[in-house]
Structures are given as C-alpha cells and as structure tokens.
Amino acid sequence: MKPQENLVRPGANRLYEIDLLRFLAALMVVMLHYSFSQGRADFGFGPALGAVTQYGYLGVELFFMISGMVVLMSMWGRTTRVFVASRVSRLYPAFWTAVTLTTLVSVVAPVSGESVTVARYLANLTMFPQLANIEYTDGVYWTLWCEWRFYLILFGLSLVGITIRRTHWLLWGWLVVSVALQSLPIPGSLHDALALIIQPQFSHYFIAGMALYLVHRFGMTTNLALLLVVSYGNAVREAGGRVAERVAEGQSPNLFVATMVLCAIFAVMILAATGGLRWIRWRWLATLGGMTYPLYLIHAAAGVAIFNSLVPTLSPWLALSLVVVAMCGLAWLISVAIEDRLRPLLNGWLLRILRAPRRRGGLGVSKECAGSDNRDALDTSQATRTVTSRHDQHS
C-alpha cells in the first residue's frame, strides 16, 4: 500500500478519545461476561459486581454508535471496492485467530462440555455460520452479523455515490422505517425481511454514529440535532426490550438506570464529535484502540478457561485480575503480530482482485466525493479533523 503524499503524519490528529471509548466499551462487555458467566466459570462475581457490571451489555450499543461514526468516516470519498476491501481486511484476520483460539480451548479445556467440530470450525471461519444453520463457536460473535448488515446498507450508498444530501436522506429514511417496523402492523414475512436489513433494535445507534460523523466534519445543524434526538428517543423506547433480555438471563438491570447510561453514551459521543474531548491526547490510547476488537473476540471462552484453571490455587479476585490482564496482553499481541501484518496484505490482495475498469470519478462515488480510491480505509493513525483529509483506523 503506497502512502498518500498529502496525508498528515501518523498520530497528528488521531481521535484518541474514540480509542478510549472503544476500549471502555469492550471492558464493559468483558466485565459483564466475567460477572455473569451463566455457569461456565467456577466462581460467580455477580453478587459482588453485578449491580454495576450488569449494565455492561450497553457497551455493545456504544460499539455500534462508534462503528456508525468511524466506518462512515473511513469510507467518505472512497470507492466501493476500497470500502469492501477495507471491511474484509479489517475484520477477518483477528476473527480467524479468535475462532482458532476458541476451538483449541474447546478441545483442551472445554468450559461448557461442548467441543467444536471440524465442520463447525470451518463454517465459523466464514463469519456467517448461521447461513448453514451452524452456531458460532463463541456467542459474542453475534454482533458481527449486525455489523455486516450495517455495511450492506453503506455498500448500497457507496454504489450511488456518497454525498451529504444522500446521507441525510438515508439516515432519516432508515430511522423512519425502523420506527415503522416497531410500531405498525406489518405482515410477518415482510416485517421479518425488512427487519433483517434494517435492524430496528439497533439501527438508531448506527444512525446516530453516522450523524455524528457529519457533525464532526461539517458541524452541528438543526437537521442533525433533530436526528440525534429522535435516535435517542428510539433507543430509550427499545431499552425495555434489552432490559428484558438481561432479566431472562438472571440479571436485574433497572430500566431508568439503563436509560441514563444511554443518555451518557449519547452525550459523550456528541462531545467527541464536536471537539469537547480533544484534550484527550495521550498517544498510548492508540494501543488500547488497536487491541479492542481482538479483546472483544477472545475474552469469553479463553478468559473463562484460564480463570477456571487458576481458581483452584488462587483467590478468585486475584484470578479475575490476572485473566483481565492476560486477555488484554493477548489482544495486544494479536493486534501487532497478526492484524498489523495480515491486514495490509489482505487489503492489497482484495484491491487487486476487485479492480475494475476505471470510471470517471471512481466506481460508485459521485463527483462530489471522488478521489481517494488509493487510501487505506483502515489506517486510523491518519484520521484527521480537517475537512480535506480524513482517515480513520478506529473502524
């Protein structure tokens, strides 16, 4: 991958606040799963930590909002083929590693009495085993299915060309259809087909994140502010269903508290988009941002297996601390030793095989936003706050 000559130097305007928020979101999910392991761990921390960690599921909502912001940032002004190559090369190297690690754990130290077969392992490597009616090797992978359906919507937008006007129309249309799916008596088959793509339970987070990128790049407008308010309102409306899911798993989150956490998530993301967190400039946060995705993928099965091996000889609290540190260290290793090496190779290979005859203005990009088809859509270190040069690897 040849660097663009007009790029800012690495780290010059990186969104370190997004790195921090991503890591905090991952840590919320990690502590939720370690507090409530559904019988897989040999010691339960729910009674001691559950009052706080039971709200860790909202880390997923924060993830989705960040994804909406940074994925739109990474594809703005780029071609469709660059977008596709960037998404595949961004997600698969760490995922293949995590699936392999989870499979090995199921063989060496199974935590649920169920081993992973060769067929299940191979199906999981595709990231879409559910299409063959095969379960994921680790339940945390379900969010990737949500991400890919979000990417499918952005893929359609990139085909017609990304402009400010079209993005506004997409966001409002997506939000209106989401509300309609949850409110109107739509026939079952049509409802299910639309819900598969629209994702009414989570769409408002992706929508709000995309709106926040427009705020970050072009400034707050009445239209974007209204879009954020309606998105938050829909998030609050759906919060009851999410709380019910947690109750069904033996937890007892309070709907009002969950609503306040959602309010805090929207508030801090608005601060990040409008520059209110620009004082967060610690370069080491880039390391946390880089290891967030691997940490999310590996923490559950591998973490519980290590914890169970330590509990017989160590205090459960010491074992928990060691597991969290070990998972962070392993996530960092995957980030630097696997992702950083395989990602550019896979991205370059995909760009070559997806290469098509050049069209005026670039494939799938309007004249208003063409001209960046050689940029690496994954390079967070090139993310900038300027209008003319915006790159982000947070996605």
Chain segment 26-40, per-residue pLDDT in tens: 999 999 999 887 667
**What CA–CA distances, in Å, run from 107 to 103, 141, 189?**
6, 19, 40
Tokens of 386: 């300027």
pLDDT tens, 312-357? 899 999 999 999 999 999 999 999 999 999 999 999 999 999 985 5
**Residue-wise pLDDT tens digits, 42-86:** 777 888 898 999 999 999 999 999 999 999 999 999 999 999 999
User: What's the first-to-final CA gap in the chain, in angstroms?
Assistant: 18
What is the Cβ-side half-sphere exposure of residue 218, based on CA atoms within 13 angstroms? Answer: 17
SS3 of residue 60 by DSSP: helix
How far is it, in rounded angstroms, from Cα 369 to Cα 158? 10
User: Is pTM beyond 0.75 here?
Assistant: yes
Total count of residues recorded for the chain:
395
pLDDT value at residue 44: 79
What's the confidence (pLDDT) of residue 2?
Answer: 39
pLDDT at residue 272 greater than cutoff 60: yes
Taking a C-beta distance cutoff of 8 angstroms, is the pair 231, 171 a contact? no
- Percent of the chain's residues with pLDDT above 70: 85
CB atoms within 10 A of CB 325: 10
What one-letter code names the amino acid at 1?
M
Instruction: Compute the distance between CA of residue 14 and CA of residue 18 in angstroms, rounded to an integer.
Output: 9
Range name among 1-15, 337-351, 373-387 with the lowest pLDDT average: 373-387
Would you tell me the crossing angle of helices 80-108 and 142-160 to the nearest 10 degrees?
170
Question: How many secondary structure helices (H) and strands (E) does the chain include?
Answer: 14, 0
pLDDT at 372: 35
What's the token pair of residue 134? 């095969």
Domain ranges (residues) in the chain: 18-31+57-287+337-382
Q: Is the CB of residue 94 less than 8 Å from the CB of residue 297? A: yes
Dihedral, 153, 156, 162, 165 alpha carbons, nearest 10? -70
- Which percentage of the chain shows pLDDT scores above 90? 74
Closest CA to 55 of 73, 29, 74: 29
Residue 313 and residue 290: Cα distance in Å, rounded? 33
Q: Which residue has the tokens 């191979």?
A: 122
Alpha carbon distance 56, 95 (integer Å): 22
Confidence band, pLDDT 50/70/90 cuts, at residue 111: low
